[in-house]
C-alpha cells in the first residue's frame, strides 16, 4: 500500500473511531433501531434467503433489532467467525448461542460449519467509513474484503454504520471491495451501478 494511501486510511480510521466511541448510548440505540426499520422495509430484505449480521464491537452500529426481525421470520441468521488461519467465515447461529472469540467478539461456536455465500444472501458489513460509490474503510485486516471476493454470484453486501460515517470519498486500493448498498439511520442507499434505475 502506498504511503499516501496508508496515511489517508489511518487518519480517517482514527477520526471515525473516535466519533463512534463518543456517541451517547441512547443516540446509538436510536440510530440502530432506525437503520433496522429502513432495511426491513426494503424489498431486498424480504427477498433474502439468508441474512448475515455481525456482533457490534468498538462502537459499531448494533444489529440487535435486525437479528430480532430475521428470527421472527424464522429465517437463518449468519454471523462472522475468525478462523485459526486468520480468515473470516460465516456460520449459522442464534444470538444467544454466540460465544466470545479470541478478541472477545461474540461469534458462532467452532462446531458450527462454515457456509458459503451465494444467490439470495444479504450480508451486513461493518465499517469505519463509506462513500456514495460503495467504497468501504474497514479496520485494516482485509477480512471482509477477502470474504466478499470469495462469495458466489448473487450475494449482496450492505455497509452498515452511522450517518456521519458517510464521507465524500473513502481512500481505497485495488484489493478493497465495494458495497452494493449503505445502511444508516438516515436510510438504505443502493449503489447506482447495482440497480436498473438511477438513484433519486
The CATH number assigned to the domain holding 77 equals 3.40.50.10420
Residue 199 belongs to a domain: no
Written as tens digits, the pLDDT of the chain (200 aa) is 568 999 999 999 999 999 999 999 999 999 999 999 999 999 999 999 999 999 999 899 999 999 999 999 889 999 999 987 778 999 999 999 999 988 889 999 999 999 999 999 999 999 999 999 999 999 888 899 999 999 989 999 999 999 999 999 999 988 899 999 999 999 999 997 543 333 32
pTM: 0.92
Residue 176 belongs to a domain: yes
Q: How many domains does the chain have?
A: 1
How confident is the model at residue 200, as a pLDDT? 28
Long-range contacts of 188-197 (CB under 8 A, 24+ apart): 188/35, 188/38, 188/39, 188/42, 188/158, 189/132, 190/44, 191/132, 191/133, 191/134, 194/134, 194/156
Amino acid at each position: 500500500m502506498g504511503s499516501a494511501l496508508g496515511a489517508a486510511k489511518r487518519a480517517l480510521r482514527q477520526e471515525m473511531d473516535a466519533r463512534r466511541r463518543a456517541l451517547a448510548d441512547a443516540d446509538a440505540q436510536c440510530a440502530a433501531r432506525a437503520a433496522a426499520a429502513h432495511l426491513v422495509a426494503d424489498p431486498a430484505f424480504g427477498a433474502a434467503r439468508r441474512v448475515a449480521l455481525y456482533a457490534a464491537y468498538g462502537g459499531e452500529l448494533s444489529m440487535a433489532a435486525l437479528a430480532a426481525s430475521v428470527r421472527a421470520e424464522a429465517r437463518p441468521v449468519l454471523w462472522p467467525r475468525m478462523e485459526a488461519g486468520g480468515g473470516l467465515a460465516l456460520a449459522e447461529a442464534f444470538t444467544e448461542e454466540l460465544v466470545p472469540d479470541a478478541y472477545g467478539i461474540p461469534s458462532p461456536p467452532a462446531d458450527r460449519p462454515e457456509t458459503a455465500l451465494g444467490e439470495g444472501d444479504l450480508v451486513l458489513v461493518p465499517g469505519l467509513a463509506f462513500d456514495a460509490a460503495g467504497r468501504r474503510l474497514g479496520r485494516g485486516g482485509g477480512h471482509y474484503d477477502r470474504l466478499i471476493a470469495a462469495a458466489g454470484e448473487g450475494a449482496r453486501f450492505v455497509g452498515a454504520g452511522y450517518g456521519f460515517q458517510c464521507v465524500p470519498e473513502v481512500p481505497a486500493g485495488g484489493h478493497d471491495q465495494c458495497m452494493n448498498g449503505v445502511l444508516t439511520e438516515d436510510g438504505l442507499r443502493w449503489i447506482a451501478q447495482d440497480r436498473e434505475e438511477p438513484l433519486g
